[in-house]
Amino acid sequence: MMRKLTVLCALAVRFSITNWSNGVPVADCDRLAAAPNDPQRKTFGVLLDQINANMAVPACEAAVREYPNDAQLSFQLSRAYYKAQNVGAAVDQLRKAAERGYASAQYNLGVMYEYGQGVSQDYGEALIWYRKAARQGDEMAKNKLAPLASIDSDANRDLTDVAAQGSLAAKSFCRTS
């Protein structure tokens, strides 16, 4: 019994050190700024209002310098910058991660455009990013398509596509419109 427990502990340590997808090690940035609702996070995640920006910003900047093409680290750096009230830098990092296809960043960039945070408010641009995230299965993005459908006629087509994928909010909207 004790031997099995030791083996399990060793495996747990092994898998907590390395990211399952890229081989990028878990960094302090992951522990300090990962989003709890990000399905690709490597750790438990931290709510935005609980991020310690004084620790997360330098940790995430160092991680992004070491792994400049890692979209997840760019996304987490954007969260740290946002918490530090550096919204312009947050948008820059979100855009980098979103353009690399990171669904959580695409959704959050859509939010920035929808509400005009760090960018000019632009529902069309918000819709573009929500669509990209929704097509990757991001549930929050799928839920954002329904309200924007009344603003942008192309969203109705996307909403129907998303409803076919199983989004409850989209199915409900399609039934009522």
Q: Where are the domains of the chain?
A: 24-101, 122-177
Asked if 73 contacts 63 with a C-beta cutoff of 8 angstroms, the reply is yes
Tens place of pLDDT for every residue, the chain, 177 residues? 555 544 444 434 344 433 444 568 898 999 999 999 999 999 999 999 999 999 999 999 999 999 999 999 999 999 999 999 999 999 999 999 999 999 999 999 999 999 999 999 999 999 999 999 999 999 999 999 878 766 655 544 544 554 455 544 444 333 333
Token reading at 174: 């399609």
Asked if 111 contacts 117 with a C-beta cutoff of 8 angstroms, the reply is yes
Q: State the angle between helix axes of 103-115 and 71-83 in degrees (0 to 180), rounded to the nearest 10.
A: 40
CATH topology of domain 24-101: 1.25.40
User: What's the pLDDT score for residue 138?
Assistant: 93
User: What's the pLDDT score for residue 152?
Assistant: 59
Ordered DSSP codes for 35-82 = -TT-TT-SS----GGG--HHHHHHHHHHHHHHSTT-HHHHHHHHHHHH
End-to-end CA distance of the chain: 59
User: What's the pLDDT score for residue 146?
Assistant: 78
User: What's the pLDDT score for residue 74?
Assistant: 97
Give the predicted TM-score (pTM) of the model: 0.74
Helix, strand, coil abundance in the chain, percent, nearest 5: 70, 0, 30
Asked if 106 contacts 98 with a C-beta cutoff of 8 angstroms, the reply is yes
For residues 86 and 78, what is the distance between their CA atoms, to the nearest angstrom?
9
17, amino acid identity: I
User: What's the pLDDT score for residue 33?
Assistant: 97
